[in-house]
Structure 1
Amino acid sequence: MTTDLTRVFVYGTLLPGERNAHVATRGGAFTAQAATLRGFRLYHLSPEAYPALRPGPPDATVHGVVLTYTPGSWAAALPFLDDLEGLHETPPLYTRERVTLTLHTGEPAQAWVYVYARAARLDAPGAEPVPHGDWRGVPGRDRPAPNAR
């Protein structure tokens, strides 16, 4: 289990107030801090009604929140997060990658982020880039299809 880094950058359904925010709390307490991730592009998938994060141009920006857990809480939360993100599916839906991002205070920080692994899906209908990089501004994001994450 990866416990040396106890932060995860969330940008979609795991954001505080979004439909899967409760999954993040299953490991225990954490602090939440606004952050920005550069060099990645955000997509909204429909009818799935969840976002996909992929590497993008250096000037691309994604807005989200860094959840910082204690080491014990992180170890408890990680299986729930990995399960939600389909990390162990065949093929995986997302992969977990270590990134450097910018906290709202302007400081750089390391965090984990879930990167969408099924790149070919982004060439199919219903994969729309989120031009402002903030999934909370996407109309219809709160209307998930059956079995949506």
Structure 2
Amino acid sequence: MTDGRLPFFVYGTPLPGEPDHDRFLRGRTREERSAVLPGTLLYEGPGHPYADEGHGTVHGTMVTAAPGAYAELLGLLDDLEQYLGPGHPRNLYERVVRSALPVPEARPGAEPPGPGGPGTAPGGSVRAWVYLAAAAVTGSLRTCGTPVPGGDWLSLRPPPAPRTP
């Protein structure tokens, strides 16, 4: 199955304002817009989250690669997520295609939703690559993982310190 150059749904450290955004995405994206991934639960991990199939919704950003940057972005995200190939026993995450829904409000640093693009499906959903927890990780998540309230990784961040005059 070839899914072509689908956008990516990111929900953790590659989000705008998070540590891996500048390192992996800056200058390699054409569009970044807020989106949600239904049918998925978000769990805390050591410094990064894991999404897994479940009865919930994960909040994140839909990322479309800049012209000429798709292959580089795909490789960088595969490396970041420790994805070695479909079903590889050492995968930390599996890269799979899921339908995400763009949302009207943009996160800080993300562009507002635009018209349909690659992977747009009826009803406004967009087929995108997403990195879900690999089989080696899902068992422990389901039995002793800590769900992220509301499925929003950024909700775990402390609010910014007030500026002093």
Identity, % of aligned positions: 37
Structure 2 unaligned residues grouped into runs of 5+: 105-122, 159-165
Report how far residue 139 of structure 1 moved.
4.5
CA deviation after TM superposition for structure 1 residue 104, in Å: 1.3
Q: Are the structure 2 counterparts of residues 43 and 91 from structure 1 closer, same or farther at C-alpha, using a change threshold of 3 Å? A: same
Corresponding residue pairs, total: 134
- Could you tell me the TM-score, scaled by structure 1's length? 0.79
**Which structure features the higher share of strand residues?**
1
Alignment correspondent of 1:83: 79
Structure 1 position 10, deviation (Å): 0.5
TM-score (norm 2): 0.72
Paired residues of 2:29 and 2:63 also in contact (CA < 8 A): no
Q: Which among 141, 146, 149 is matched to residue 128 of structure 1?
A: 146
Where relative contact order (Cα < 8 A, 6+ residues apart) is larger, the structure is: 1
Which of 111, 117, 126 lines up with 2:128 in the alignment? 111
Corresponding residue SS for 1:50:
coil
Q: Which secondary structure state, in structure 1, belongs to the residue aligned with residue 77 of structure 2?
A: helix
Worse-superposed segment, 75-84 or 21-30: 21-30
Structure 2 CA distance, aligned partners of 1:53 and 1:123?
A: 11
Q: Which residues in structure 2 correspond to 1:1-149 (within 5 Å)?
A: 4-25=4-25, 28-45=28-45, 48-57=46-55, 60-70=56-66, 72-88=68-84, 90-105=89-104, 107-117=124-134, 118-123=137-142, 127-139=145-157
